[in-house]
A and B are shown apart, each in its own frame.
Chain A
Amino acid sequence: MLSYNFKYELKLLLRSKWIQLLSIILLLLFGFSGYNGKEKVAKRKAAITAAQDEVKKNDEMMLQLLDSIEKGMQVSASRWTLPTSPMAVGNYHPRVAAMESQSMAFIATGQADLFTHYVKPKVSGDDAALNFTEMTSPVQLLFGSFDLAFVIVYLLPLLIIAFSYDILSAEKESGSLRLLASQPIGIQNWVLQKLSLRFLWLSVLVIVALVITLFILEIAWFSMFTAFMLFISIVLTYMLFWFALAFLVNLWVGSSAKNAISLLGLWVLFVLLIPSTLNQVSTTLHPMPSRTLLINEMRGLKAEVAKKQDKILDNFLRDHPEYAINDTTQTRGFYHRYMASQQLVKGELKPVITTYENQLQKQQAWVEKLKWASPAITVQESLNKMAGTSTGDYDHFRKQVVVFAETWRSYLTPFLYNNQNFTQKDYPELPQFVFLPKPESKLHLVPVILLGITTLLFGIGYISSKKFEERTVLTSF
């Protein structure tokens, strides 16, 4: 039966205008979303390159100025901005801390439309106030990004539903099921074989669409073959999950209309309801401290410490005898007091920042734990992780930037307190930010677990429908 089912199902598919239309839609969706993803990555890369070019240009000017100053020439620049001052270097010549895009970044925008990909931590800046959030169009945020992940997680299940909702009911409604059921075949097996062929057809279409898209967009997918194969296996097992649901609905429900509504209901449940409910519950269970309150608290603290900066500086110098100077011509200025007070503000704010980070981690852990409640969440999360655009990836980047900001500050602070000028020979020693991508998650387990869930669904459908027997299936029309 298998070979005949496959042979003629394929013929029926190829001759169906509806299927042809769906296939073309699928190819277009993949092409368009792939293009969008590539454009976003290109934009991100361009923004980082522009920022790096700007730093390079500034550095050249800084070195020219330093050269002129070191040669005793007069320079026309404000005293505050002269690069001999370590604070001027730290504030006006910051390095770019960039989150380079990963090789698979084009598949999922993830959090990329919410967070910035580079920052320039300044020596006098606050780590907590480092702005990682980008101003984004609220309309775009509402509709999301039309990337491959969106097509796979949201639209592909709809195409699968259109492909499979009436496998059995169409036969019932056209009357051909009676003839089929009079043959020595099991209806469950027959439905399963029809669905298998449609799954294979759609899988081929998806793979072809992806390869064509990557080829046209000149994305070197072959160089990331392992990641690409993992991506394909996640997509295929996610598709299989929806085919398993279609199998159950075909056997359990009745008419084509009822099947379509049931499957759309499941789509709403798995793709919309469960993810939004989980998100809502996670923010209710582990609410984030208000960012406005954090900023207010920081401002209050700063105002308070500003009043007693002399005292703070004295205390700071007492704690740092290495900065003691015996030369009476040397003085302590604004930045000495400011940097000392910054240390205090940082210490005071630490509990609030820690609470913020803890809550964020708790939220992420909660979602991570319950992501299996909906394969849509699992797949979206996995694709974001593969693309390096997940919440975890941005958190990982943020932490690296905070560490780098401290390194930047630590490098320049001794210059300040030792009243030492920054020179050309110090330039090569300036700390540089090197982005380390988040270590790869164990994503290879995702297709395995999805396959397990799918097998379970197929098993339930198979065993329970055996109880009905085809007699009951047939008499339901």
Chain B
Amino acid sequence: MITTQNLTKKYNNQTALDRLNLNVGKGEIYCLLGANGAGKTTTINLLLGFIEPTSGNALINGLNVLENSKETKKFLAYIPENLMLYPSLTAIENLDYFSGIAGKKLTKQHLISFLKEAGLQESAFEKRITAFSKGMRQKVGIAIALAKDAKVLLLDEPTSGLDPKASNEFGQLLQKLSQKGVATLMATHDLFRAKEVATQIGIMKNGQLKEEFIANDISLTDLEKTYLVTMNYKEVAL
């Protein structure tokens, strides 16, 4: 569902992403770990078609995102670190708007069911987004993905700034989506959440994918050690 083939992005002489090869299949959750500037967000921007690669290909559902920009966006949902919705619209209205412009005409009952499925408390459905916490906004983001019937989910630091409870709820939501067959690529700093939800984990540094694991094959402690070693924090941390 999500594929990158030697995906490379250079800004002048600086390489932001260096020949990245990834493959995230149906129902898989791939967590990209790495420090700031490792190339995680660049990967997501390339998959969204926000920036053009210097070389290589980014594919969603087998389609090149550059050549099939609109088509690929029909399959995907994106949740950035700070999901910004329209503050003067309610949760239902935001959901109706974003699913509507994506081509999904839904009844109010459907919209409510998606918000419920995303875990948003019912009292918040008709409230304006202004007063929503980050966790609540992320849930609306998940509801948008559900409403769009997205096959691919691209997440950029979605749990940063969330309290443990909200982060845990978010993780559970991702697993629910995974069970529905959604392929997820999540860029994160959160090793614990990555270990909890991911099926595959990759560690990036300086635009390169340095390590790759099957999540079940590695313990959280080993993951942390490997991460720190990869980041050259060995002396400090171990």
The verdict on B35 contacting chain A, using a C-beta distance below 8 Å, is: no
Whether the Cβ atoms of A8 and B89 lie closer than 8 Å is yes
Whether the Cβ atoms of B80 and A179 lie closer than 8 Å is yes
Whether the Cβ atoms of B51 and A182 lie closer than 8 Å is no
Q: How far is the CA of A174 from the CA of B86 in the complex (A)?
A: 9
Contacts of A182 in B (CB 8 A): 48, 73, 76-78, 154
Contacts of B154 in A (CB 8 A): 182
Whether the Cβ atoms of B97 and A176 lie closer than 8 Å is no
Whether the Cβ atoms of B73 and A470 lie closer than 8 Å is no
Q: How far is the CA of A15 from the CA of B94 in the complex (A)?
A: 14
The verdict on A1 contacting chain B, using a C-beta distance below 8 Å, is: yes
Whether the Cβ atoms of B76 and A8 lie closer than 8 Å is no
Given A175-B80, A471-B51, A15 contacting B88 (CB threshold 8 A): yes
Among listed A39-47, A183-191, A388-396, A417-425, interface-contacting one: A183-191
Contacts of B226 in A (CB 8 A): none
Q: How far is the CA of A475 from the CA of B86 in the complex (A)?
A: 21
The verdict on B98 contacting chain A, using a C-beta distance below 8 Å, is: yes
Q: Dominant SS at the B interface? A: mixed
Whether the Cβ atoms of B70 and A185 lie closer than 8 Å is yes
- Taking the nearest CB of chain B, how far is it from the CB of A468, in angstroms? 11
The verdict on B83 contacting chain A, using a C-beta distance below 8 Å, is: yes
Q: How far is the CA of A475 from the CA of B16 in the complex (A)?
A: 14
CB-nearest residue of chain A to B102: A183
Q: What mask results when residues 1 to 32 of chain A are scored 1 for a CB within 8 Å of chain B, else 0?
A: 10111011001100110000000000000000
Whether the Cβ atoms of A471 and B49 lie closer than 8 Å is yes
Contacts of A471 in B (CB 8 A): 49-52
Whether the Cβ atoms of A5 and B101 lie closer than 8 Å is yes
- Taking the nearest CB of chain B, how far is it from the CB of A141, in angstroms? 45
Q: Dominant SS at the A interface? A: helix
> Which residues 445-477 of A have a CB within 8 angstroms of B?
470-471, 474-475
Whether the Cβ atoms of B50 and A184 lie closer than 8 Å is no
Q: How far is the CA of A15 from the CA of B101 in the complex (A)?
A: 20
Contacts of B37 in A (CB 8 A): none
> Which residues 52-103 of B have a CB within 8 angstroms of A?
52, 69-71, 73-74, 76-78, 80, 82-86, 88-89, 93, 96-98, 100-103
Contacts of B69 in A (CB 8 A): 184, 470
- Number of residue pairs spanning A and B whose beta carbons lie under 8 angstroms apart: 79
> Which residues 309-328 of A have a CB within 8 angstroms of B?
none
Q: How far is the CA of A11 from the CA of B52 in the complex (A)?
A: 35
Whether the Cβ atoms of B85 and A176 lie closer than 8 Å is yes
Q: Which of A5, A7, A16, A175 contacts B88 (CB 8 A)?
A: A16
Given A8-B97, A471-B49, A184 contacting B102 (CB threshold 8 A): yes
Whether the Cβ atoms of B50 and A470 lie closer than 8 Å is yes
The verdict on A350 contacting chain B, using a C-beta distance below 8 Å, is: no
Whether the Cβ atoms of B80 and A11 lie closer than 8 Å is no
Q: What mask results when residues 253 to 291 of chain A are scored 1 for a CB within 8 Å of chain B, else 0?
A: 000000000000000000000000000000000000000
Tally of B interface residues using CB under 8 Å: 32
Q: What mask results when residues 165 to 182 of chain A are scored 1 for a CB within 8 Å of chain B, else 0?
A: 000000000111011111
Contacts of B71 in A (CB 8 A): 184
- Taking the nearest CB of chain B, how far is it from the CB of A386, in angstroms? 40
Contacts of A180 in B (CB 8 A): 101
Whether the Cβ atoms of A184 and B48 lie closer than 8 Å is no
Whether the Cβ atoms of B52 and A184 lie closer than 8 Å is no
- Taking the nearest CB of chain B, how far is it from the CB of A286, in angstroms? 56
Whether the Cβ atoms of A186 and B100 lie closer than 8 Å is no
Whether the Cβ atoms of A11 and B89 lie closer than 8 Å is yes
Q: How far is the CA of A190 from the CA of B51 in the complex (A)?
A: 19
Whether the Cβ atoms of A178 and B52 lie closer than 8 Å is no
> Which residues 95-124 of B have a CB within 8 angstroms of A?
96-98, 100-103
Q: How far is the CA of A474 from the CA of B103 in the complex (A)?
A: 22
Contacts of B85 in A (CB 8 A): 176, 179
Contacts of A16 in B (CB 8 A): 88
CB-nearest residue of chain A to B50: A474
Given A12-B89, A176-B85, A181 contacting B74 (CB threshold 8 A): no
Contacts of A8 in B (CB 8 A): 86, 89, 93, 96-97
Contacts of A15 in B (CB 8 A): 88
Whether the Cβ atoms of B101 and A4 lie closer than 8 Å is yes
- Taking the nearest CB of chain A, how far is it from the CB of B14, in angstroms? 15
Q: What mask results when residues 344 to 373 of chain A are scored 1 for a CB within 8 Å of chain B, else 0?
A: 000000000000000000000000000000
Whether the Cβ atoms of A178 and B97 lie closer than 8 Å is no
Whether the Cβ atoms of A178 and B78 lie closer than 8 Å is yes
Q: How far is the CA of A7 from the CA of B50 in the complex (A)?
A: 27
Residue picked from A8, A12, A190, most chain B C-beta under 10 Å: A8
Q: What mask results when residues 119 to 161 of chain B are scored 1 for a CB within 8 Å of chain A, else 0?
A: 0000000000000000000000100000000000010000000
Q: Which of A11, A175, A183, A474 contacts B101 (CB 8 A)?
A: A183
- Taking the nearest CB of chain B, how far is it from the CB of A132, in angstroms? 56
Q: Which of B48, B52, B83 contacts A181 (CB 8 A)?
A: B48
Whether the Cβ atoms of B86 and A184 lie closer than 8 Å is no
Q: What mask results when residues 381 to 412 of chain A are scored 1 for a CB within 8 Å of chain B, else 0?
A: 00000000000000000000000000000000
Q: Which of A175, A179, A184, A470 contacts B103 (CB 8 A)?
A: A184
Q: How far is the CA of A207 from the CA of B76 in the complex (A)?
A: 43
Contacts of B141 in A (CB 8 A): 179
Q: How far is the CA of A453 from the CA of B86 in the complex (A)?
A: 34
Q: Which 9 A-B pairs have the closest CB atoms?
A: A4-B100, A175-B84, A182-B78, A184-B73, A184-B70, A176-B84, A15-B88, A1-B101, A8-B97
Task: Give me 8 A-to-B residue pairs in the complex whose CB atoms sit less than 8 angstroms apart, sorted by A's number.
Answer: A11-B88, A12-B88, A176-B84, A179-B85, A183-B101, A183-B102, A185-B101, A471-B50
